[in-house]
Every structure is written in structure tokens, then in C-alpha cells.
Amino acid sequence: MINVTQTFFPPLEEYQRYLQRIWTNQWLTNRGELVLELEEKLKTYLSVDHILVTNNGTIPLQIALKLLGNGGEIITTPFSYVATSAAIVWEHCTPVFVDIHPEYLTIDETKIEAAITDKTTCILATHVFGNPCHIEAIGAIAEKHHLKVIYDAAHAFGVTYKGKSIFEYGDVSTCSFHATKLFHTGEGGALFTKDAELEHQLFYSHNFGHNGPLAFHGLGVNGKISELQAAMGLAVLPYMETIIAERKRVVDFYNQHLNLDKIQTLKIRVNTQWNYSYYPVVFKDEVTLLQVQKTLNAEQIFPRRYFYPSLNTVDYLSGQKMSVSESIAARVLCLPLYAELKNMDLEKIICIINTLK
């Protein structure tokens, strides 16, 4: 069976060495030794000054929206995983969708200003498939209208834009360390900000609002990661260069052998060092996509329709028509992509697509 992705498992003995430290320390949660070590090593790897590791990739969005959204309207993309928009609703804010760019698949920055009202408090944009948004334009709009910017960078671990970590942009950036991601802790995520005061708010917000064991700064939730999760991250991190290099091999193989005359691939924004996180292809119509998917499935090959449906069509998120997002969502299929994927399997996938499309 070939799935759309495959979790990277580090050598068991290396993970067990971290587990032995947990057993020795007798400390499982509440920011133990391994969590602190993971944060320091991630700062070095990502070239960032501040990171707060969390128990999943959605709680960072909720915390950021709780602190910055103020119950207002949040301009966002309809082309993302549902967690992006669900977090907005969960935090009692209102999603206002703006359509996407047809090639980059990120929010169309030229359409943002028309969606701003006196109730708008934030722009929440997704770096889709690790492809950066138009950061400069979004920043300029936010500054002009006194808005906060939150980037959902769930797919963007290791991505740099203009020589800087993608997590250095916006008021807050978030990431997912879910088992399906390049870097993972099984379940996990992270918050990033350069604002010292906001960093303090993010910290206590992920720890029940605690200011020490007996006092509180304010409202908080439990967003803490465990030592067991941190152990997995510490065991995976040394293999990141190999993981990314192998994923690049797969992407290059697709690019070289797929017949791209009638399918669209992702256009990576200039000045981006990409992380090869996904390989989306956009077919001419949904009928073709479904035919390709059915044929691949019959061969025990399981690509995935990231992201379907367009979020503006989900019942509790329903908004105005987003023609580009709806069209792309109906026609996009993410092909299998992971470090261990063999060339012979890639050839099989490519042969089916080239024959059917």
C-alpha cells in the first residue's frame, strides 16, 4: 500500500535513549528537561530566537486568535485544512473569506483590502503546502489598517523566505508537528513571535494562565507538550536534512517524468527555499481527478484531496462564492510524497496519471 504520506520513524534505540532519560528523571509533563532541550535545538535548526512548543498544531491558532482576534472578523483563506477556519469560529470570531491566487494557491493579497471592515481585527493566512503568502503585501495592508497578522505555517517547517525562517514573519506564526509532517513529535505544534510581551502572553495562555504555581496572569488552556512527544522530536530532528533531501528526490522525479502539459503543479514563490512538503497536481476537471484517483486506489495507491472542499462551502463556515478556491479544490490531488518512496513506485504512479489524464 502506498499512502499519500508515511510517518518517519527514527531508529528505535535512539528514541529509547530519550525514554531512558524520562524514566530516570521521573518527569512526564509540565515542561521537563526534554521539552526545554527540544525548544533550544529547534531555535538553532530554524534560526529563530523564540519558540513555544505545544501539544498539537491547532491549539496555537486558538491561542493566537484568543489574544489577537478580540471576537472580530478574521480575514482568511478558503483553501486550507479545516482547522484554520474552525479555530476562528471556536474562538467566537467570524471568518471572512478572500479567494486564492490560482498559481501560488495562497490567499490573493490583491483582494484583501476589499474585505476589510470596521470589525476586522486580524488576517489569518496559510502558507499553503509550505508555499509562502505574499508576505510584504499582507504586512503593508495590516500596517495600513492596524490589523494583526497570524500565519498558519502548519506545512512550512524549514521553509525560508528571503533568507529568513518563515516563522519570523507576522505577529504570530504557528506550525504543526503532527505525525504526517516533515518534522514531527507524533502530535505537537509550535508558536512563534518576535514580540516579547506577546510571547509572555502566549506562554501563560498555553499553561492555564499560570504565573507561578499559585497565581495567574489571565485566561489559559492546557497546550503543553509531554516529555514523550519531545523525545520523539529530539530523535527525529537529526534526520531532517536526509528527510528533506529524499523528499526533493521524489519531487524532482515527478517533475521530470509526469507529463505536465495538461496538469498544473504548484508555483513556488520567488526567494523561497521550499521544504518539499506536498506534491499537489491540479487536473483539468473533477471528472479526470476522480478517474485518476479511482485507478490509483485500485492499485493500492492512495493520494489525497488536499484541500477539499473549499472551506467557504462548509455548512458552519458558509460564505460568499470563492470561484478560484472552489475550482482548485475540486481539481487538486496531492500525490504520495515521503522519504522512503521508491522510484519503482513513483514510476507506477506516473504511468497511471500520464495514461489517464
Q: Give the chain's mean pLDDT.
A: 97
Considering only CA atoms, which of 185, 290, 282 is closest in space to residue 237? 185
Q: pLDDT by residue (tens digit) across 142-183?
A: 999 999 999 999 999 999 999 999 999 999 999 999 999 999
CATH of segment(s) 3-238: 3.40.640.10
Which residues belong to CATH 3.90.1150.10 in the chain? 239-356
Residue 245 pLDDT > 80, yes or no?
Answer: yes
pLDDT value of residue 357: 64
Neighbours of 240 (CB within 10 A): 16
Q: Note the pTM of the prediction, 2 decimals.
A: 0.96
Cα–Cα distance, 228 to 16 (Å, whole number): 10
- Cβ burial 63-85 (10 Å sphere, 16+ → b, else e): bbbbbbbeebbbbbbbbbbebbb
Cα dihedral 288→335→150→224 (10° resolution): 140
Which residues belong to CATH 3.40.640.10 in the chain? 3-238
- Residue 73 C-alpha cell reads as 472578523
In the chain, the percentage of residues whose pLDDT exceeds 70 is: 100
CB-CB contact of 10 with 235 (8 Å): yes
pLDDT value of residue 37: 98
CATH architecture classification, 239-356: Alpha-Beta Complex (3.90)
Enter the DSSP assignment of 208.
T
